[in-house]
């Protein structure tokens, strides 16, 4: 199983993704590691990426996902995956479970302001929030609780998806 922990910057994708991978006993990848240097420099300068900038990045992540699947490896990948077209490029045959981490703009801005050593310019949060297209079939999780509580909820919802594969992840939001 490939699980993509998605959301805007500051939502905790890397923290939650690492904890979830440990809980699932599988590998973890951070999509930031797949960015070309030019993308990182643009974001560091506060310049939003274009779809043309994202295309090779998304293709590299997709290729890694295909490799993990071919090797029979479960994997958690932290990736913004904000637009439906990006998620389609990552998993064109629906071969991933998406987990959307959400929070208020104020909470996310506070987290970004306190982050040290990351290339993402906090000024880009507004453009990410504007780009975000909430998927209908994702597990949606509020990021206000502590990371271990968030991971427990994701783990519970993933288990429900495995027990009832015909149900979408979104159907479990009602429980």
Strand ranges (E), the chain: 2-6, 27-30, 75-78, 97-102, 139-142
Compute the distance between CA of residue 21 and CA of residue 2 in angstroms, rounded to an integer.
10
Checking if the pLDDT of 15 tops 80, the result is yes
The model carries a pTM of 0.83
Domain of 39 in residue numbering reads as 2-174
- 96 in Cβ contact with 74 (< 8 Å): no
Q: Indicate the number of domains in the chain.
A: 1
- 158 in Cβ contact with 172 (< 8 Å): no
The pLDDT, as a whole number, for residue 70 is: 94
The pLDDT, as a whole number, for residue 174 is: 47
β-partners of residue 7 are none
CATH number of the domain within which 158 lies: 3.40.50.300
Q: What is the mean pLDDT of residues 69-88?
A: 94
């Amino acid at each position: 199983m490939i699980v993509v922990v998605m959301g805007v910057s500051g939502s905790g994708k890397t923290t939650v993704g690492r904890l979830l991978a440990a809980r699932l006993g599988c590998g973890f990848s951070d999509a930031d590691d797949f960015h070309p240097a030019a993308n990182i420099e643009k974001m560091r300068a506060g310049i939003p990426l274009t779809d043309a900038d994202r295309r090779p990045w998304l293709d590299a992540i997709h290729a890694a996902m295909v490799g993990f699947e071919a090797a029979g490896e479960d994997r958690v990948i932290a990736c913004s995956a904000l637009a439906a077209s990006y998620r389609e490029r990552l998993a064109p045959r629906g071969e991933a479970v998406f987990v959307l981490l959400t929070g208020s703009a104020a909470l996310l801005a506070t987290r970004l302001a306190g982050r040290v050593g990351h290339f993402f310019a906090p000024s880009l949060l507004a453009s990410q929030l504007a780009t975000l297209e909430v998927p209908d079939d994702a597990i949606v999780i509020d990021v206000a609780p502590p990371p271990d509580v968030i991971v427990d909820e994701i783990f519970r919802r993933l288990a429900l998806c495995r027990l009832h594969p015909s149900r979408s992840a979104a159907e479990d939001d009602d429980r």
